[in-house]
Amino acid sequence: MININVPVGASLNKDGTCSFSVWAPMCSSISVVTDAAPEDTWPMKKQKLGYWQVTVDDTTPGMQYWYKFDDKLLRPDPASRWQPDGVHGASAIVSTDFNWTDDHWQGIELSELIIYELHTGTFTPTGNFQGIISKLDYLQTLGITAIEIMPIAQFPGHHNWGYDGVFPFAIHNEYGSAADLKQLVNAAHQHGIAVILDVVYNHLGPEGNCLHHFAPYFTDKYKLYWGDSINFDGAGCDGVRNYYIRNALMWLDEFHIDGLRLDAVHAIFDSSAKHIMEELTEQVRQLEQRSQRRKILIAELDLNNPRYVTPVEKGGYGMDAQWVDEFHHALHAVLTGELTGYYEDFGSLEHLARSMQCSYVYTGQYSQHRKRFFGVEPKNVSYNQCVAFIQNHDQVGNRLLGDRLSASLPGEALKLAAATLLLSPHIPLLFMGEEYGEKNPFLFFTSHSEEELIARLCEGRRKEFAHFNWEGEVPDPQSEEIFNQSKLSWKTNESPGLFIFYQQLIAFRKKKLAMQNFRRYDAVRNIRIQNNVLQFERHGNEESLIVCLNFGKEPESLLFEQSHTYKKLIDSAGDQFGGNGSLTSSIIRPGQPFLLNPLSVCVFEPTDQSDEFGSL
């Protein structure tokens, strides 16, 4: 399949003119109308494959415009770069000029990723890109190496998670301008922090969606829960593929963004000889060569299928990494005891051990929740191609009350969860606020204006929650109060030991050689379960560590089988982490039993290994 590589949208030129290009094969005539001269129209000339183009004189940044169909119907630009008045208003011309100072930056490798997921509107009191910039020092101190920003494409109203965006090329008008986003990326790079953007290529939101007026962007060949399926493989699909590939390259090239997290790729249906994800990856690899900067593609999918991250030459799509929901499910079920909804497939330490070893839990076994055999083993996938988490926007926000783990678990259990994630070989992803035990919920919120849509949305939420047997009224997603409740409190001093524990675990992960091995066959060894303790070894670079995780509410007595003397490096029960005092000796000698505190973690290494990090 050949990418047709035609520009779309409005491109401001140095001479004050602006070139407009729109894909509208279904139109018999189309013109540009600007707010500067609404009585005039600029007829566009039809080019090959249904593209229309024209160059307009005397244009300036901020000038608003519409496309006019057959001299009567006005619509905003499908590739609009700015919607000053929201999804129902005119599009506006944007300057791409920016004074970058990140020439030193070459991107980030998978092995270096410590990801922090955030929502622009609720991360800071200001709810914009400038607010994120103000927290970069904090994130750098924590040890974060990449921020993952939830979708920012223009959506209807004031507040939204972002997955209802309808203008993929336009930045939500309340988050800031294109220059503000570039300033954020530039500043992040100065702090040694990469920027990953969450993008939605499987559907568009229902309100303000005007693409169907222009071209066959959608298909009824496939059915989606969220809306019309994108046409990636039917008649006219070349223009659709070009539209989304150019969108991805815009973020990665013009905005210097380091990677994309592609939402729900399992809902991107494509029977073409070359899947759209493979074609997108191919184009991104070419951009890497041109820019000499690493660009990362992360797939979110719920299929336990390694095809998306398998190299193209081995029959895959060549993407870099994928989210692994089952690590979360296994850990959450053990910590909370919840066994309804999809948690019914989990609940034992054996499930968690399997996720630690295989990333997926289900690799061909029968799933009670799915009522079928499910998954395959990712044998040739490195651990650092799998993004794991203990909380994220979905797993918190799609709960009835948007409650975080901190709402129901004691501090010792929160530290245990953090250690399970950060001592695993997977790419760790933190959800904003978890590092200090944020108590405010993260609820589902929208600000649609269409009453019928709102009613359908609320009914859909009620049906979804029914699977979990949660009790209580479904919070109104349209409520301003629900949105405000979801903002971080930034009460970082209420659990200082938790923040220090996260900070030290991240530093430990970066510095210890055994933590730098991500090979599937030997990074994790000798996984054992004894009563409520999960024990495993991390190996790499001629270094070995033993990790002991006690999920029980009572102390556990352990005995190492190896004839080594071990030094304790990490103990979550320590005073410096707000613990109750450790029961575990600093030195464990051969044949010597020792106690492990309830809801705690200890990490040991043989005393004959060099100890550059010291003990915690």
Give the lowest-confidence range in 204-218, 452-466, 474-488.
Answer: 452-466
**What type of residue is 287?**
L
**Residue 540 lies inside a defined structural domain of this protein:** yes
Q: What is the domain range of residue 530?
A: 517-606
**Residue 598 lies inside a defined structural domain of this protein:** yes
Q: Give the C-alpha separation, 135 to 120, whole Å.
A: 12
Per-residue pLDDT reduced to its tens digit, 500-527: 999 999 999 999 999 999 999 999 999 9
Per-residue pLDDT reduced to its tens digit, 276-309: 999 999 999 999 999 999 999 999 998 999 999 9
φ, ψ for residue 287, nearest 5 deg: -65, -40
Residue 198 annotated as binding site: no
Q: Given a cut of 70, is residue 462 above it in pLDDT?
A: no
Structure-token pair, residue 55: 């160059």
Residue 264 annotated as binding site: yes
- Give 32's strand partners: 42, 67
Q: According to the model, what pLDDT value does residue 385 have?
A: 98
Q: According to the model, what pLDDT value does residue 461 have?
A: 67
Q: According to the model, what pLDDT value does residue 2 have?
A: 46
CA-based angle 310:269:113, to the nearest 5? Answer: 40
Instruction: Identify the band that residue 1 occupies on the pLDDT scale cut at 50, 70 and 90.
Output: very low
The gap from C-alpha 582 to its chain's centroid, in whole angstroms, comes to 36
**Of 164, 258, 263, 543, which residue is the catalytic one?**
263
**Residue 527 lies inside a defined structural domain of this protein:** yes
Per-residue pLDDT reduced to its tens digit, 362-401: 999 999 999 999 999 999 999 999 999 999 999 999 999 9
**Of 77, 164, 300, 338, which residue is the catalytic one?**
300
Residue 238 annotated as binding site: no
Contacts of 162 (CB under 8 A, 6+ apart): 119, 150, 151, 152, 153, 155, 172, 198, 200
**Residue 385 lies inside a defined structural domain of this protein:** no
Q: According to the model, what pLDDT value does residue 613 have?
A: 53
Pairing of strands 566-571, 587-588: antiparallel
Do residues 391 and 115 lie in contact, with contact meaning Cβ atoms separated by under 8 Å?
Answer: no
Kindly state the percentage of the chain with pLDDT values over 90: 87
Residue 467 annotated as binding site: no
Residue 265 annotated as binding site: yes
Q: Output the average pLDDT for the chain.
A: 94
Residue 577 annotated as binding site: no
Split into its structural domains, the chain has a count of 1
Per-residue pLDDT reduced to its tens digit, 147-156: 999 999 999 9
Q: Does the annotation count 571 as an active-site position?
A: no
**Residue 9 lies inside a defined structural domain of this protein:** no
pLDDT greater at residue 580 or residue 602: 602
**Residue 30 lies inside a defined structural domain of this protein:** no
pTM above 0.85, yes or no: yes
Per-residue pLDDT reduced to its tens digit, 162-178: 999 999 999 999 999 99
- Average pLDDT of span 215-237: 90
Q: Given a cut of 90, is residue 3 above it in pLDDT?
A: no
Q: Given a cut of 70, is residue 119 above it in pLDDT?
A: yes
Q: Given a cut of 80, is residue 468 above it in pLDDT?
A: no
CA distances to 186, 443, 536, 551, 584 from 555, in Å: 49, 36, 18, 10, 10
Q: Does the annotation count 263 as an active-site position?
A: yes
- Average pLDDT of span 75-94: 97
Residue 104 annotated as binding site: no
CATH of the domain at 544: 2.60.40.1180
Q: According to the model, what pLDDT value does residue 465 have?
A: 62
**Residue 389 lies inside a defined structural domain of this protein:** no
Residue 228 annotated as binding site: no
